Amino acid sequence: MCGIIGYIGNRQATPILIGGLRKLEYRGYDSAGVSVIDPSSGAGSRVVRCRGKLSGLEQKLVAEPAVGTVGIGHTRWATHGRPSDENSHPHKVGAISVIHNGIIENHLTLRQELASAGAKFSSETDTEIFAHLVDHALTAGAPDLVTAVRRSLQKVRGSYAFVVMSDKEPGTLVAAKNSSPLVVGLGDGENYVASDVTAILSETRKVIFIEEGEMVVVTRDAVTITDFDGNVHKREPKIITWSALQAEKGGFKHYMLKEIHEQPRAVADTLVGRVDLENDDVLLDGIELDVKSIKRIIFIACGTSFHASLVGEFLIEALARIPVEVDVASEFRYRDPIIGKGDLVVAVSQSGETLDTMEAIREAKKKGAKVLAISNVLEASIPRLADYAFYTHAGPEIGVASTKAFTTQLVGMALLAIYLGRRTGTLKPEKARELLAELVALPQKLRDVVESGAQIQAIARRYGNATGFLFLGRGAQYPIALEGALKLKEISYIHAEGYPAGEMKHGPIALIDEHLPVVVLAPRGPSYEKTVSNLAEVRARQGKVIAIASRGDNEIGSHSDDVIVVPDVALELQPIVTVLPLQMLSYYVADFKGTDIDQPRNLAKSVTVE
């Protein structure tokens, strides 16, 4: 995720901005920049931007010093437009400098409108559009920066935290928030604005968190919060007592827990600009697949991304009726796969750098297949190697154990399946509409699940000393059982196996005794009754059952030791809600055992070796 900082006061802004951006480096970024004004000089702001690390920006600042007491700074993690100097923030149009976190959903339409009105663009980003909108509003008669920003906000849809500065009003920073975090720091004769408290903690601990749909006008001596209509919101500042490390983790004990809690927002970002409710369809970022020519889809991936691919198989076969195969990338590349022109290979990788997956793509391309990459990292090696790229926009994931990258891959699978199904004609508009509406409603439902942490923590404490776990599921819940087992192994070092629930009687049933916790995925659906029978079989052998069940299921409690309830969603989307309790269970078991959760032994975030 990108990082934001703004400063207005009497000290030199650049060192404060760079210091703040350094504190945000841990979040990952690919470019950085500042725009700084010296209000006493009457000259405009100086914008210095650079692809790459902050050290590169600092070197550039030696050659082109940005002097002044008012400024904004940004670290960018590319979403729209590759990492480059031109695409780095701040974007300057006329007198207006803008930094932005988030995604402007209607940027293509706005770009066309602005271009027809004569705007010239110097980047590929959605952010530059906002700088043009503000500049345009001023030219069209807005009396001041605040009004121009307010008018521009009415035109944009999407998630954002913006900070805007004008050469003509150097005593004011204007910021606005919708779905991306924004905080104001209060000083003495100086104030700050930032995406995270981490960025300003060394300067001040007195902060005001800006809420959804709010704007804030920051001067040296005052902070005024309003809604987008200008109604003033009064709010008392808070004193932050977190340490710098706690602040980096947003007050959570580990990055993994923070990332679990970020999933509602991450899923909303994956959906931005892709749900076309007017036409009951999906927009795939301009990707136009020749769907009629696709005879077969082959997923290639590793680890957690492999599990997401298994869910993809279920969804695409159900909604688009195209045959799907799923292969572990390291196996695919060495088995001389039969593959050719009618095949679409979908390579799934959160990091976009996994060597096994990359080599599997090379093999597929050599044999004439088209490749679509699903990646979380813009311009990583895998999406660059593929013919088409779909980005999940989960934001950087720091915990080695993948959580939000996985759920957003699942959302990507659902979008792809709907896109394909609408084009093969097997998915009727009514069903597509229902699924799209459910996808849009998902973030709120995921919020409900992440709030059930206390119950899951209590369960984790009870079973934290177990030496093994079994995870069972049927249909699209089987890959979730695999994922639950992998997560637990990765971070708690407890042996765990995921199994299709119907396979239990063919072997693993021998393991069951009073010491084996068995996690059973049993949301409502066609295989519910069969799954409940499996659960009864576990119980009959004294196994301990933790059931993941749909809200309102009053029956399952009599067959289980513990029930974790998830909200009702369409069958096709159930994996996205049922995986959350499993991530949380693994997290709390590992926390109970005191392992190194964010950097588990022997594991790496991106595996670039064979």
Active site residues: 2, 605
Compute the least distance from the CB of residue 602 to ligand AGP, in Å.
11
Q: Where are the alpha helices (DSSP H) in 46-87?
A: 54-63
Compute the least distance from the CB of residue 37 to ligand AGP, in Å.
41
- For residues 39 and 511, give the distance between their C-alpha atoms in angstroms, rounded to a whole number: 73
Compute the least distance from the CB of residue 130 to ligand AGP, in Å.
32
Query: Which residues, other chains included, contact 346 with Cβ-Cβ below 8 Å and sequence gap of 6+?
Result: 297, 298, 299, 300, 309, 312, 371, 372, 373, 374, 416
Compute the least distance from the CB of residue 595 to ligand AGP, in Å.
14
Neighbours of 212 (CB within 10 A): 10
**Considering beta carbons, is residue 306 or 388 the nearer one to ligand AGP?**
306
Q: Where are the alpha helices (DSSP H) in 204-328?
A: 244-248, 255-261, 263-271, 303-320
Compute the least distance from the CB of residue 605 to ligand AGP, in Å.
7
The half-sphere exposure of 233 on its side-chain side, counting CA atoms within 13 A, is 18
Q: Is residue 78 classed exposed, middle or buried when 0-12, 13-18 and 19+ CB atoms within 10 A define those classes?
A: buried
Helix (H) / strand (E) element for 391: namely strand 388-391
Compute the least distance from the CB of residue 287 to ligand AGP, in Å.
20
- For residues 377 and 265, give the distance between their C-alpha atoms in angstroms, rounded to a whole number: 17
Compute the least distance from the CB of residue 491 to ligand AGP, in Å.
9
In degrees, rounded to 5, the angle at the alpha carbon of residue 503 between the alpha carbons of residues 499 and 509 is: 85
Cα–Cα nearest to 203, from 3, 2, 18:
18
**Considering beta carbons, is residue 402 or 531 the nearer one to ligand AGP?**
402
- For residues 6 and 176, give the distance between their C-alpha atoms in angstroms, rounded to a whole number: 13
According to DSSP, residue 175 is labeled: E
* DSSP codes of every residue in 338-389: ---TTEEEEEEESSS--HHHHHHHHHHHHTT-EEEEEESSTT-HHHHHSSEE
Q: What's the token pair of residue 557?
A: 């409690």
Three-class SS state of 273: coil
**Considering beta carbons, is residue 351 or 550 the nearer one to ligand AGP?**
351
The half-sphere exposure of 447 on its side-chain side, counting CA atoms within 13 A, is 7
Helix (H) / strand (E) element for 208: namely strand 206-209
Compute the least distance from the CB of residue 451 to ligand AGP, in Å.
23
Contact positions vs ligand AGP (CB under 6 A):
302-305, 349-351, 354, 357, 400-402, 490, 603, 606-607
**Considering beta carbons, is residue 327 or 490 the nearer one to ligand AGP?**
490
Residue with tokens 């927009």: 283
**Considering beta carbons, is residue 352 or 523 the nearer one to ligand AGP?**
352
Minimal CB distance to ligand AGP: which residue? 303
Neighbours of 117 (CB within 10 A): 11
Helix (H) / strand (E) element for 608: namely none
Query: Is 578 within 8 Å of 523 (Cβ atoms)?
Result: yes
**Considering beta carbons, is residue 99 or 394 the nearer one to ligand AGP?**
394
- For residues 356 and 367, give the distance between their C-alpha atoms in angstroms, rounded to a whole number: 17
Compute the least distance from the CB of residue 27 to ligand AGP, in Å.
17
According to DSSP, residue 232 is labeled: B
* DSSP codes of every residue in 535-557: HHHHHHTT-EEEEEEETT--SGG
Residue 509 one-letter amino acid: I
**Considering beta carbons, is residue 115 or 603 the nearer one to ligand AGP?**
603
Compute the least distance from the CB of residue 607 to ligand AGP, in Å.
5
* CA 90 remoteness from chain centre: 22
